[in-house]
């Protein structure tokens, strides 16, 4: 009898709590990267080929896609009652059969999206600007991610940030620089691209150059033009480069003050009581 009670207590403390029944994710994502390609090139050269090969796969309910510059995301929805892991392997096999992808395209990344459920949320607000709030929120996010058993933390309540490059006509004329030269320099220097592969006896290494910048400070020194005498003209010499919030209305306020919302989600197998 004592042993039954002991084992019962161990089982009780080992139980995980959840508000709703846990269900397996039914979403599979195929990510493709083709540096330097337009949305039309990606649609015609990659997406249509993948979608054609996915037609008729058992367990696939719907296929949708979004093509943008350099990349595309293809979403595969699985019928209820089918095992997503089995369909995932079928999707991988179907994509691997395609041998006519454009040269320079990176290998597709295929994965099952993780199912997540809302657990808890709170707001960070105060008499400071939105950029300061976001910085404190990022710090809180990093600290929360270090908590054992908590894996998914999301921030919201602020628009996305963007880098604005405002060319200055007088400086461009003085340095004999055209607008096209400035645009090409920014486009050429702010990309992610592949540099081929290195094959060894045990593995194959993909060489990838990442010069993409997400903040104004990282774009100030982009080289626009270099003359034979060694003179170098940087982007900051002919343009004002600054970080700004996008014009999206995605903002949150509490009592009239800007706020950042921190949302905690729990994954399949995690304990909501531990997170809360």
pLDDT in tens, 182-203: 888 887 776 666 666 777 777 7
What's the rounded Cα separation, in Å, for the pair 174 and 256?
Answer: 47
What's the rounded Cα separation, in Å, for the pair 260 and 130?
Answer: 8
Band (pLDDT 50/70/90 cuts) for residue 157 is confident
Q: Pick the range with the lowest mean pLDDT from 12-16, 154-158, 240-244, 268-272.
A: 12-16
Q: Does domain 27-112 have CATH number 3.30.70.1430?
A: yes
**pLDDT at 48 (0 to 100):** 94
DSSP state for residue 216 in the 8-state scheme: G
What's the rounded Cα separation, in Å, for the pair 117 and 154?
Answer: 12
**pLDDT at 149 (0 to 100):** 67
**pLDDT at 210 (0 to 100):** 65
Fold for domain 166-240? 3.30.2090
Please say if the pLDDT value at position 211 is more than 70: no
Q: Torsions phi, psi of 85, nearest 5? A: -65, -35
SS3 content of the chain, % helix, strand, coil (to 5): 30, 35, 35
Average pLDDT in the 137-164 region? 81
State the CB neighbour count (10 A cutoff) for residue 154.
13
More confident: 160 or 27: 27
Nearest Cα residue to 117 out of 272, 261, 260, 262: 272
What's the mean per-residue pLDDT of the chain? 80
Please say if the pLDDT value at position 132 is more than 70: yes
Please say if the pLDDT value at position 90 is more than 80: yes
| pLDDT tens sequence across 46-74 | 999 999 999 989 999 999 999 988 899 99
More confident: 95 or 15: 95
Give the domain ranges of the chain. 27-112, 116-160+248-275, 166-240
- pTM for the model stands at 0.50
């Amino acid at each position: 009898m004592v042993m039954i009670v002991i084992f019962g207590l161990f089982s009780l403390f080992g139980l995980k709590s959840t508000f709703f029944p846990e269900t397996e994710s039914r979403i599979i994502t195929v990510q493709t990267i083709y540096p330097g390609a337009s949305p039309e090139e990606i649609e015609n050269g990659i997406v249509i080929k993948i979608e054609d090969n996915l037609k008729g796969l058992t367990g696939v309910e719907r296929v949708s896609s979004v093509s943008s510059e350099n990349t595309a995301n293809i979403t595969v929805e699985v019928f209820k009652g089918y095992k997503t892991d089995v369909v995932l392997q079928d999707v991988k096999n179907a994509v691997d059969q395609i041998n006519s992808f454009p040269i320079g395209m990176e290998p597709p990344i295929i994965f099952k999206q993780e199912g997540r459920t809302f657990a808890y949320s709170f707001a960070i607000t105060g008499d400071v600007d939105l950029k300061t709030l976001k910085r404190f929120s990022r710090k809180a996010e990093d600290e929360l991610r270090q908590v054992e058993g908590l894996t998914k933390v999301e921030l919201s309540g602020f628009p996305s940030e963007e880098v604005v490059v405002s060319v200055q006509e007088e400086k461009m004329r003085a340095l004999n620089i055209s607008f096209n030269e400035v645009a090409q320099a920014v486009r050429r220097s702010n990309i992610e691209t592949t540099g081929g592969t290195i094959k060894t006896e045990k593995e194959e290494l993909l060489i990838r150059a990442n010069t993409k910048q997400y903040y104004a400070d990282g774009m100030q020194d982009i080289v626009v033009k270099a003359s034979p005498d060694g003179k170098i003209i940087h982007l900051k010499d002919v343009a004002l480069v600054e970080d700004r919030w996008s014009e999206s209305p995605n903002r949150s306020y509490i009592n009239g003050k800007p706020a950042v919302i921190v949302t905690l989600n729990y994954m399949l197998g995690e304990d909501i009581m531990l997170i809360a």
